[in-house]
Amino acid sequence: MRRIPSWIWPVLVALFILALSRVVKNEYYMFAGYVVLQYIVLASAWNILGGYSGYVNFGSAAFFGIGAYGAVVLDKLWQPPLVVAIVFGGIVASLVGLVTAYLTLRLRGVFFAIATLALAIVLQTLVMNWDFVGGPLGYYSVRPDSIAGFPSYVNYLFVIMLGLALIAVLVARAIELSFIGRGLAAIRDNELAAECCGVPTLRLKVFATMVSGGLMGMAGAPFPYYITYLDPNSAFSLAYGINSIAMPLIGGMTHWIGPVIGAVLLAVIQQVATVTISSELNLMIVGVLLISFITLAPNGIVGLFERYRQKRQRRLST
Amino acid sequence: MTTQSPLLDAMSIRKRFGGFVALDAVDIAIRPGERVGLIGPNGSGKSTLVNCLSGAISSDTGTIRFDGRAIERLPAHQRTRLGIVRTFQIPLPFTSMTVIGNLTIPLRFAARHHAVGGTTNDVEQALLILEDVGLRDKAHEPSAGLTQVELRKLELARAVAARPKLLIADETMAGLSNSEVDEIILLLFKLNEQGIAIIMIEHIMRAVMAFSQRAIVLVAGKKIADDTTDVVINNAEVVRAYLGE
Ligand SMILES: Nc1ncnc2c1ncn2[C@@H]1O[C@H](COP(=O)(O)OP(=O)(O)OP(=O)(O)O)[C@@H](O)[C@H]1O
Ligand SMILES: [Mg+2]
């Protein structure tokens, strides 16, 4: 019997969720589920650079915000279909990734992290002063009431984000398993040794930054339609930067499933906390979880699982 | 008599660290298939020279030709692909990978760029190399768990996996037992017989004497001797530098 290729599992899960979205009537689940899916994209995208190559990007919000404001610009100009805005956001964000990469990737460790954080702040300031997209007042995007083939527009947004999450997961997985992923792992372990083994370190890092940033930009493009009122603070929120680091860290950074687990776990907890307690509590929960994982399980949930499996194997073999 | 054109030809390599001159106009030429010992006291600039030749750092001035090409502006990975491969004096393994995983990186990223034939797959090639350095039975263990001596062997194995034309072994034998030193010398001879030129950097004089046809001596960033090994070893200046008169 032929082995079932493992990319089939994310596809099946996505199809299952798609089927569920057709029968669930309560709109709240679509609203909440959208956020979880959005974080699956952000966490998986972040992990392509941060997890695989070890370059910590604090500026996820920059790429996400580019996607969101890219959609705003298009919306003001000619209101194209959402898919066009997503592609546009992805391209612009990955081009910004390209420039950022060349400017900053020679910086190691904490300096790279600070440079990416600065990028988010600079972009937010620029948008604040850009009247065309509303400046500090923000922008109201008129969301169509319905769209053909879907029970509601929110349901449509949910399905779009489901598709993006599937793409992000499959791209992350493909990179991880390819020779590019091996090269990125070599960079993470020791960049000088990697370079001296023939790994084109600069080119791989630039590639990872572009793919990672592009996916984040794509995740940002539907956002103006999701919240309908977009302002610089919500598009460039620090929460994106922190969450997209925390999720892979908690889930596990060496396997593509890690960011997915982390995103689902953290985003669900945050959604529940927002409803039941307060939204202020969110970042504190993230902080507490982060500290616990860094000290107790530095390889995340995937790492815990693997340790358990190894222990069991050893027990079975003796 | 025709002189064989050199495989490596580096001229007036200079490197300063701040005000400190680590390399002072060093010339070094290596013929294809040659065995050269590079010796000198601690801090004399041997590893710095390796770094400049391999592209790990860039020299301040000087030209480097390899296989007829000017390479002083190429990044390190391209020099590796052309065939200058070095080991690190302090081993730098890919710690998240297994021993064999460490070898698949140069096999995939360097060797393929000038592989001859390339019929066998990476895993088979890696296992053959590990057999040679005596790490065959550790192939699937995590490299993070290796002893210091094993890490040095892994350094060498990983360099060999890049399929060098010129292998620069920076103190591969430090800390090894006498019989292990002999094993490594034998291995280097075997690689040399396959046509690989080798620069051996070593404080173990027995190894240098046994292995090299020629010896180059660095002292305080300057080349003070470059001749057949027995001539160099009897050179008064070299003796003075080593015995510290
Ligand atoms: N990156 C650096 N920055 C400043 N000084 C350096 C640097 N690298 C090397 N040096 C200095 O340059 C000199 C030459 O060092 P190098 O490592 O090349 O010596 P070596 O001949 O390899 O010595 P050893 O036999 O101990 O390995 C030393 O004084 C060292 O301190
Ligand atoms: Mg040295």
**What pLDDT digit, counting tens, does each position of B117-167 carry?**
555 688 889 999 999 888 999 999 999 999 988 999 999 999 999 999 999
The ligand 1 atom at the shortest distance from the C-alpha of residue B49 is: 18
Distance of CA A274 to the CA centre of its chain: 21
Residues facing residue B65 across a β-bridge: B9, B70
Domains belonging to chain B, first-starting first, are 35-56+75-243 (3.40.50.300)
| Within a domain: A67 | yes
| Within a domain: A273 | no
SS3 A243: helix
Question: Counting Cβ atoms within 10 Å, is residue A7 exposed (0-12), middle (13-18) or buried (19+)?
Answer: middle
Q: What is the pLDDT of residue B70?
A: 94
pLDDT-derived band at B1 (thresholds 50, 70, 90) equals very low
User: Total domain count for chain A?
Assistant: 1
Beginning with the edge strand found earlier in the chain, give each strand of the sheet holding B35-39 in spatial order.
Answer: B84-86, B166-170, B197-201, B35-39, B214-219, B222-228
- CA-to-CA distance for B185 and B212, rounded, in angstroms? 10
β-bridge pairing B84-86 and B166-170? parallel
pLDDT tops 50 at residue A128:
yes
Smallest CA separation from ligand 1 atom 7, residue: B17
Q: How many CB atoms lie within 10 A of CB A73?
A: 16
pTM of the model: 0.91
* Arithmetic mean of pLDDT over chain A: 89
Q: What is the pLDDT of residue A222?
A: 95
A306 to each of A223, A263, B52, how far by Cα in Å? 36, 19, 42
pLDDT tops 90 at residue A277:
no
Distance of CA A296 to the CA centre of its chain: 24
Among A50-54, A243-247, A311-315, B103-107, name the one with the lowest average pLDDT. Answer: A311-315
- Between A41 and A143, residue with greater pLDDT: A41
Rounded mean pLDDT of A30-50?
95
| Within a domain: A268 | no
Among A38-52, A59-73, A98-112, A259-273, name the one with the lowest average pLDDT. Answer: A98-112
- CA-to-CA distance for B169 and A204, rounded, in angstroms? 27
Instruction: Tokens 């929120």: give the residue.
Output: A237
Domain carrying residue A64: 8-241
| Within a domain: A70 | yes
Q: For the segment A72-105, what is each residue's pLDDT rounded down to a tens digit? A: 999 888 888 899 999 999 999 999 999 988 888 7
Q: Give the orientation angle of helix A8-23 with respect to helix A153-177, to 10 degrees.
A: 170
> Ligand 2 centre from A291 Cα, in Å?
40
Helix (H) or strand (E) holding A230: strand A229-230
**Cβ contact A55:A180 at 8 Å:** no
Determine which of A53, A197, A254, A306 to mutate to test the interface with B (most B C-beta atoms within 10 Å): A197
| Within a domain: A142 | yes
CB-based contact, B115 to chain A, within 8 Å: no
pLDDT tops 50 at residue A293:
yes
Q: What is the pLDDT of residue A280?
A: 72
Residues facing residue B37 across a β-bridge: B200, B215
SS3 A306: helix
SS3 B141: coil
- What percentage of chain A exceeds 70 in pLDDT? 97
CB-based contact, A177 to chain B, within 8 Å: no
- CA-to-CA distance for A221 and A36, rounded, in angstroms? 16
| Within a domain: A94 | yes
